[in-house]
Structure 1
Amino acid sequence: MMLHIPEILTRDQLESIRAGLNTASWHDGAATAGPQAVQVKHNRQLPADAPQSQILADMVTKALKAHPLFISAALPHIILTPRFNAYEGGGHYGNHVDSAIHFDPLKQISVRTDVSCTVFLNDPEDYDGGELIVEDTYGAHEVKLKSGDAILYPSTSLHRVEPVTRGVRLASFLWVQSMVRDDTRRQMLFDLDMTILKLRQTLGDSAEVVTLTAHYHNLLRQWADL
């Protein structure tokens, strides 16, 4: 399931994050790539132990946890510490699949990656290129969102970032170990949750809505992997 989540970050939060990134000391992004991805990764990345990293990552994490669409779609069990990258001067990231297991150096845990998330930190007009291309059985999907918006997609997806030929593309990226590891089941639960919300707006807590809500929680209870 791919999902565009609007307005994860407010304008004030975006300004604070960009101000922190403007004074940061960036490193070569290839330093954190796996053996396959290192061959195709050409960007800059904020080190996990940089002075700004934890503060900025906490802002992104809190914003994600407060957004109901993110919670419903990702069903997060563990949210890895958000990271930050920058693409410019032709920087790009070729086709790759994210590693199945990621070690979070700040939380000191290894986490299975079920859901990938990119939060765009500046507007499309600020740079040329830089589209996130996610491939699935229905073809290639091009993503280039306004600042503060996020895209969720399965970590099993083949994806890439096209070369940035003008300006700088700033983003935060992270992974989620979901309570439900199977993407199809997460999609079913998300669709059911959205249907329940719409029905509740028109019918209130009718007997039918209560029954559907019970089915949702019983499915989640059956499929949750904790």
Structure 2
Amino acid sequence: MIPHISLPNALSPDECDRLIALIAAHHLKDAGLVGGTTAHNIRRAEIAWLDDIPEAAWVLDRMITLTAQANREAFQFDLTDFGESPQVARYTAEREGHFDWHSDIGAGPWAAKRKLTIVVQLSDPASYEGGTLEIRPDSNITQAPRSRGAATIFPSFTLHRVTPLTAGTRWSLTLWSHGPSFR
């Protein structure tokens, strides 16, 4: 199995701008909650859910198509749905934005069904420093592409993190495809 796949033009720069503008116009919430408690040592970011923004419905349609293509080419998992809302995150250097090593599969009604994680880089890579999405499928760590509009798709059980931002702001889109439990 391929540890991850990158799709360089999942969204155009104009589409990235459009999505950021939609999110920026809505209230972002603190994403530092883990297991119901604040854990800024694990994650420090602000998030918004696209299901709360009707003008962003086009994003899920695009991601479904791209994920189906990537799954056929690289993973061949049994996928059934996208039961969770896509999430846009804003990491800022001012708030020491980061997300420590974690996987996206776990307990709970949604996390237990996650099969593939899709992360799309929305920011221009020149607009921030640090904030690198790193993927650790084994003892090696790889960096996801930083090009604007690039999607990185990987199994949800894969360890990954966003390194601390040292300057600027990084925006990203994340969503998860679901399916029956791994066996």
- In the superposition, the TM-score normalised over structure 1's length comes to 0.66
Which residue is equivalent to 2:80? 77
Following superposition of structure 1 onto structure 2, how do residues 75-114 of structure 1 map, counting pairs within 5 Å? 76-79=79-82, 80-89=84-93, 90-101=96-107, 103=109, 112-114=113-115
Mapping for residues 124-135 of structure 1, pairs under 5 Å: 124-135=125-136
Among 13, 18, 21, the alignment partner of 1:19 is 21
4+ residue runs of structure 1 moved beyond 6 angstroms? none
Map 1:1-226 to 2 at 5 A. Answer: 1-31=3-33, 33-34=34-35, 38=39, 39-47=41-49, 50=52, 52=53, 54-56=54-56, 58-67=57-66, 69-72=69-72, 73=74, 76-79=79-82, 80-89=84-93, 90-101=96-107, 103=109, 112-178=113-179, 181=182
Q: CA deviation at 1:88?
A: 0.6
Counterparts of 1:121 and 1:102, CA distance in 2: 28
Q: Aligned with 1:55: secondary structure?
A: helix
Residues 1:66 and 1:169: Cα distance change in structure 2 (over 3 Å): same
In structure 2, C-alpha distance between the alignment counterparts of 1:122 and 1:55, rounded to whole Å: 20
Residues 46, 83 of structure 1: 8 Å contact kept = yes
Mark the CA change 1:8 to 1:102 in structure 2 (over 3 Å): closer, same or farther: farther
CA contact (8 A) 1:44 1:87 kept: yes
What is the CA–CA distance in structure 2 between the aligned matches of 1:48 and 1:96, rounded to whole Å?
Answer: 23
The alpha-carbon deviation at position 135 of structure 1 amounts to 0.9
| Higher RCO (CA-CA < 8 Å; seq separation 6+) | 2
Give the aligned residue type for 2:9: E
In structure 2, give the amino acid aligned to 1:55. Answer: E
Tell me, yes or no, if the aligned pair for 1:124 and 1:144 is still in contact at 8 Å: no
Q: Which residue of 2 aligns with 1:209?
A: none
**TM-score calculated relative to the size of structure 2:** 0.80
Q: CA deviation at 1:66?
A: 3.0
- Check the 8 A contact 1:130/1:144 in 2, yes or no: no
Contact 1:34 / 1:99 at 8 angstroms: preserved in 2?
A: no
Aligned residue pairs total: 173
Give me the whole-angstrom Cα distance separating, in 1, the residues matched to 2:130 and 2:28: 21
Distance 1:114 1:47, change over 3 A: closer
Q: 1:74-107, CA deviations, whole angstroms, 9 ceiling, x for partnerless residues? A: 6532123211101012211111222425556xxx
RMSD: 2.7
In the TM superposition, what whole-angstrom CA distance separates every residue of 1:91-132 from its partner, at most 9, and x where no partner exists?
A: 11111222425556xxxxx76011111111112111101101
Q: What is the identity percentage for the equivalent residue pairs of Structure 1 and Structure 2?
A: 21
TM-fit CA distance, 1:155 = 1.2
**C-alpha separation between the residues in 2 aligned to 1:86 and 1:181?**
31
Query: Contact between 2:51 and 2:86, CA under 8 Å: does it hold in 1?
Result: no
